[in-house]
Chains A and B, each alone.
Chain A
Amino acid sequence: MQRRAALKTFALSIGSTLVLPSWANAWSKETLQQSSIILTPLQETLLAEVVGTIIPKTDTPGAKDLNVDKFVTLMVADCYDTKAQDTFAKGLVAVDEIARKEYNKTFISCEPTQKLAVLNKMDKAGNDTEKGFIRLVKNLTIQGYLNSEYVMTNLRVYEFIPGRYHGCVPAKTQAGK
């Protein structure tokens, strides 16, 4: 029955766009182009490591392997306001700063456990920007991961054309894949 959850995720992601803050009307294409979301190659690598830490590779691909970092950048650039874009840019800088402070090396050079510790520190003990960054990137990473072709077709049940509806079937404690 995971397909229901997948669809629900999809539906929720649609629903969440329908709220338009009033200040957003002042937003123009020019400000979008000037926004700080055009990442340098180094930042791109850093973001890939961040999403790969949030959903790592195990016996199945992680978010980085599925190019979810590209999705995160695209979404922040196309679908989010300047405030979120600012949080995104500042948060990405903070990731490296905290890694250097804690472990005296760049985030990319950290061990997997250290990387996770950096993100958890930002999430739990960080300032508003750091917390906001983790919330934003984590949510988008989950969205991109769960709605990726690999996960939808290999790891969760997804039916494009169910062709049926049964109103009452036995619920398994752990629905099969």
Chain B
Amino acid sequence: MSYFNIDAVAAQTFDAIVIGSGISGGWAAKELTGKGLRTLVLERGREVKHVTDYPTTMMQPWEFEHRGQLKKEVRDANPIVSKCYAFYEGTEQFFVKDAEHPYVQEKPFDWIRGYQTGGKSLLWARQTQRWSKYDFEGPARDGFAVEWPIGYDDIAPWYSYVEKFAGISGNKDGLASLPDGEFLPPHEMNCVEKYFSQQVAKNYTDRHIIMGRCAHITDPKPVHLAQGRAKCQHRTICERGCPFGGYFSSNASTLPWAAKTGKMTLRPDSVVHSIIYDEKKGKATGVRVIDANTKQMTEYYARIIFVNAAALNSNLILLNSVSSRFPNGLGNDNGLLGKYIAFHNYTATISADYEGYLDSTTDGRRPNSPYIPRFRNVFKQETDFLRGYASGFQAGRYMRDDRSGMGEDLKKGLLNPYLNNVWNVGSHMMGETIPKESNYVRLDKSKLDPWGIPQLSISVDYDDNDRKMVKDFFEQLTEMYTKAGFKNIRTNDSNRTPGLDIHEMGGVRMGKDPKTSLLNKWNALHECKNVFVTDGACMTSTSTQNPSLTYMALTARAADYAVKELKKGNL
């Protein structure tokens, strides 16, 4: 009856396997199936279908039992994820609960995860700024980490490629530090934001206030309508999932597109244990998958494997993929796998009031805000810290109501709201952190997760460079605010632990030299060339931009290369 086994192996064999269905895994699925590859997409979480599995998306505020607030027992049971700004009664279903997926904090690290089809692409903040050549050149110029094996020119066409499909709104600002892209019409700045933009332009030659580029459809093109997506409706409750497909997510865009090819097999509840390495063939041949519910292990086979499990989980899978050839993790001859983890420093915010434009206000809502591209150390080193920070900027004229007293007076106050007598303005810092060997993840084999896989142990922290940068952010933004006539300037350092930025990167960095990096310029492991890592784990440095757009572009680029090499018979 041996033919049964042959059939079973055939049923478990694909052209490509993609580990993870989040923002980069969705792109890998779309590109590989679009090029004709039978592709297995493995998602460790449950299935979440576009629209039908967004239970709270049409709920009105009064329909939430606790009006959005989390129950105390939920907060008590989940001290980590409860710190995340997007975790509330309307989004609980999309976040990993602390106890379900334990990890080890060698140093405090709030690891925010979304285990479901689409991963965190349902929950992301949707900011999509390109990197510039100066960002890619950073490590080589400033002598940290290793040199990027690619530059802006390598990735620019792929930025264009993913932007057109995803739907990115933005203004062509013509800035060297933040290249323009393929934009749908931008969102509008309000009066005070425009005013600040003009003031900064008057007072500085190197600083700009622009409208954020974001993954919202402001004017749907045929390619978006073909995805079943429509114009963003400005509800600004994106994190509950959008029934209009107004913002880009794997669920709304890449995964249904891949499914339409008939080439995709999406397998939810599939925890990847490790990648199978065949010493005779000198390459990876498949993955070991543990069913999340039955805990039964199955092997799946393919000619190429894309690792898109989210930065730290991609590290975990590679570290756990041991063989006699790779006793320390797949492709890890140099011992650097899991090291040089970096992130974005979001600890600092600044706010103020502005007393101008009191005859004006705003109307409607905006799922986006203006952006201050990095202006420190862009073209040359000029401060006592390395690299720099980008910032958000937002002005709002809010409503107030008089809540004093009780009885009819209170009711009258509540039913007669009035416009605040100032505009409130604010910025948050998005700082580049320097990848260091001392910031690492590793496996803790003494602690297993519920699937028998060693837990990830995380040791990541800030350093002096980060603290100097926060100080500079406060000084520079205070100066910019003061020159614009903003009053009552307040700075705040939340001192929050790393992780809550949800921009963890690195550990499987790209580089030119196999001695000092894990991945080559095509995101393939130097030592196992049919395994590609194109999520945050691949990042050599972090720059300051929200990273998802870069992962999308790197994934599409790597998939294009992988399929070409496959067809040439090289993989």
Given that A1-B399, A162-B234 are known contacts, is A55 also in contact with B366, CB under 8 Å in the complex?
no
Chain A interface main SS type? helix
Find residues 69-98 in chain A having any chain B CB closer than 8 Å to their own CB. 71, 74-75, 78-81
Kindly supply a per-residue 1/0 record for chain B positions 400-422, scoring 1 wherever the CB is within 8 Å of any chain A CB and 0 otherwise: 11010011101100111111000
- Whether B398 and A75, one on each chain, are in contact in the complex, defined by CB atoms closer than 8 angstroms, is no
User: What separation, in Å, do the CA atoms of A143 and B358 have in the docked complex?
Assistant: 28
User: What separation, in Å, do the CA atoms of A137 and B67 have in the docked complex?
Assistant: 16
User: Contacts of A8 on B, CB cut-off 8 Å?
Assistant: 398-399
Given that A62-B411, A147-B62 are known contacts, is A17 also in contact with B361, CB under 8 Å in the complex?
no
Given that A20-B79, A79-B71, A165-B363 are known contacts, is A152 also in contact with B62, CB under 8 Å in the complex?
yes
Does A129 sit at the interface, judged by CB under 8 A?
no
- Whether B406 and A116, one on each chain, are in contact in the complex, defined by CB atoms closer than 8 angstroms, is yes
Chain A min CB distance to B563 (Å) = 40
Other-chain residue from A53, A147, A173 in contact with B61 (beta carbon distance below 8 A): A147
Which one, B183-191, B332-340, B450-458, is touching chain A? B183-191
Given that A79-B72, A147-B61 are known contacts, is A156 also in contact with B417, CB under 8 Å in the complex?
yes
Given that A161-B233, A163-B233, A163-B234 are known contacts, is A1 also in contact with B83, CB under 8 Å in the complex?
no
Does B69 sit at the interface, judged by CB under 8 A?
yes
User: What separation, in Å, do the CA atoms of A159 and B407 have in the docked complex?
Assistant: 28
Chain B min CB distance to A135 (Å) = 11
- Whether A24 and B419, one on each chain, are in contact in the complex, defined by CB atoms closer than 8 angstroms, is no
Chain A min CB distance to B428 (Å) = 15
Does A125 sit at the interface, judged by CB under 8 A?
no
- Whether A13 and B76, one on each chain, are in contact in the complex, defined by CB atoms closer than 8 angstroms, is no
User: Contacts of A134 on B, CB cut-off 8 Å?
Assistant: 406
User: What separation, in Å, do the CA atoms of A60 and B406 have in the docked complex?
Assistant: 16
Nearest B residue (CB) for A137? B406
- Whether B235 and A161, one on each chain, are in contact in the complex, defined by CB atoms closer than 8 angstroms, is yes
Does B174 sit at the interface, judged by CB under 8 A?
no
User: Contacts of B418 on A, CB cut-off 8 Å?
Assistant: 173-175
User: What separation, in Å, do the CA atoms of A143 and B73 have in the docked complex?
Assistant: 21
Does A145 sit at the interface, judged by CB under 8 A?
yes
Other-chain residue from B72, B190, B366, B398 in contact with A168 (beta carbon distance below 8 A): B190
Find residues 377-429 in chain B having any chain A CB closer than 8 Å to their own CB. 397-401, 403, 406-408, 410-411, 414-419
- Whether B410 and A54, one on each chain, are in contact in the complex, defined by CB atoms closer than 8 angstroms, is yes
- Whether B406 and A25, one on each chain, are in contact in the complex, defined by CB atoms closer than 8 angstroms, is no
User: What separation, in Å, do the CA atoms of A55 and B61 have in the docked complex?
Assistant: 20
Given that A79-B70, A156-B417, A171-B358 are known contacts, is A148 also in contact with B62, CB under 8 Å in the complex?
yes
User: Contacts of B415 on A, CB cut-off 8 Å?
Assistant: 60, 151, 155-156
User: What separation, in Å, do the CA atoms of A92 and B147 have in the docked complex?
Assistant: 67
Question: Interface size on B (CB < 8 Å)?
Answer: 56
Other-chain residue from A58, A120, A173, A174 in contact with B408 (beta carbon distance below 8 A): A58
User: Contacts of A173 on B, CB cut-off 8 Å?
Assistant: 418
Chain B min CB distance to A54 (Å) = 5
- Whether A167 and B235, one on each chain, are in contact in the complex, defined by CB atoms closer than 8 angstroms, is no
User: What separation, in Å, do the CA atoms of A142 and B69 have in the docked complex?
Assistant: 15
Other-chain residue from B69, B188, B234, B363 in contact with A75 (beta carbon distance below 8 A): B69
User: What separation, in Å, do the CA atoms of A123 and B407 have in the docked complex?
Assistant: 13
Does B75 sit at the interface, judged by CB under 8 A?
yes
Chain A min CB distance to B424 (Å) = 11
Chain B min CB distance to A122 (Å) = 10
User: Contacts of B73 on A, CB cut-off 8 Å?
Assistant: 27, 29, 32, 78
Does A164 sit at the interface, judged by CB under 8 A?
yes
- Whether B407 and A116, one on each chain, are in contact in the complex, defined by CB atoms closer than 8 angstroms, is yes
Does B66 sit at the interface, judged by CB under 8 A?
yes
Kindly supply a per-residue 1/0 record for chain A positions 19-52, scoring 1 wherever the CB is within 8 Å of any chain B CB and 0 otherwise: 0100011010100100000000000000000000
Other-chain residue from B69, B83, B363, B410 in contact with A166 (beta carbon distance below 8 A): B363
User: What separation, in Å, do the CA atoms of A85 and B73 have in the docked complex?
Assistant: 14
- Whether B417 and A119, one on each chain, are in contact in the complex, defined by CB atoms closer than 8 angstroms, is no
Nearest A residue (CB) for B79? A20
Kindly supply a per-residue 1/0 record for chain B positions 528-548, scoring 1 wherever the CB is within 8 Å of any chain A CB and 0 otherwise: 000000000000000000000
User: Contacts of A71 on B, CB cut-off 8 Å?
Assistant: 67
- Whether B414 and A81, one on each chain, are in contact in the complex, defined by CB atoms closer than 8 angstroms, is no
User: What separation, in Å, do the CA atoms of A13 and B401 have in the docked complex?
Assistant: 15
User: Contacts of B65 on A, CB cut-off 8 Å?
Assistant: 74, 78
User: Contacts of A174 on B, CB cut-off 8 Å?
Assistant: 416, 418
User: What separation, in Å, do the CA atoms of A58 and B69 have in the docked complex?
Assistant: 29
Given that A5-B398, A8-B399 are known contacts, is A165 also in contact with B364, CB under 8 Å in the complex?
yes
User: Contacts of A143 on B, CB cut-off 8 Å?
Assistant: 67
User: Contacts of A78 on B, CB cut-off 8 Å?
Assistant: 65-66, 71-73
- Whether A162 and B414, one on each chain, are in contact in the complex, defined by CB atoms closer than 8 angstroms, is no
User: Contacts of B188 on A, CB cut-off 8 Å?
Assistant: 165-167
Does B360 sit at the interface, judged by CB under 8 A?
yes
User: What separation, in Å, do the CA atoms of A16 and B75 have in the docked complex?
Assistant: 12
- Whether B360 and A170, one on each chain, are in contact in the complex, defined by CB atoms closer than 8 angstroms, is yes
Other-chain residue from B190, B365, B411 in contact with A162 (beta carbon distance below 8 A): B365
Given that A17-B88, A25-B76, A145-B414 are known contacts, is A164 also in contact with B363, CB under 8 Å in the complex?
yes
- Whether A171 and B419, one on each chain, are in contact in the complex, defined by CB atoms closer than 8 angstroms, is yes
- Whether B76 and A167, one on each chain, are in contact in the complex, defined by CB atoms closer than 8 angstroms, is no
Does B262 sit at the interface, judged by CB under 8 A?
no
User: Contacts of A80 on B, CB cut-off 8 Å?
Assistant: 72
Does B82 sit at the interface, judged by CB under 8 A?
yes
Does A128 sit at the interface, judged by CB under 8 A?
no
Does B36 sit at the interface, judged by CB under 8 A?
no
Does B303 sit at the interface, judged by CB under 8 A?
no
Other-chain residue from B365, B410, B419 in contact with A175 (beta carbon distance below 8 A): B419
User: Contacts of A120 on B, CB cut-off 8 Å?
Assistant: 406
User: What separation, in Å, do the CA atoms of A20 and B411 have in the docked complex?
Assistant: 31
User: What separation, in Å, do the CA atoms of A14 and B66 have in the docked complex?
Assistant: 10
A residues touching B (Cβ–Cβ < 8 Å)?
1-2, 4-8, 10, 13-14, 16-18, 20, 24-25, 27, 29, 32, 53-56, 58, 60, 62, 71, 74-75, 78-81, 116, 119-120, 123, 134, 138, 142-149, 151-152, 155-156, 158-171, 173-175
Can you spell out 9 A-B residue pairs with CB atoms less than 8 angstroms apart? Answer: A5-B400, A16-B69, A18-B82, A56-B407, A78-B65, A79-B72, A146-B414, A164-B364, A165-B364
B residues touching A (Cβ–Cβ < 8 Å)?
60-62, 65-73, 75-76, 79, 82-83, 85, 88, 187-191, 193-194, 233-235, 357-366, 397-401, 403, 406-408, 410-411, 414-419
Known interface pairs A18-B85, A171-B361; 4 further A-B residue pairs with C-beta atoms within 8 A, sorted by A's residue number: A8-B399, A24-B72, A149-B62, A170-B360
Give 5 closest A-B pairs by Cβ, nearest first: A5-B399, A167-B190, A165-B366, A164-B364, A168-B191
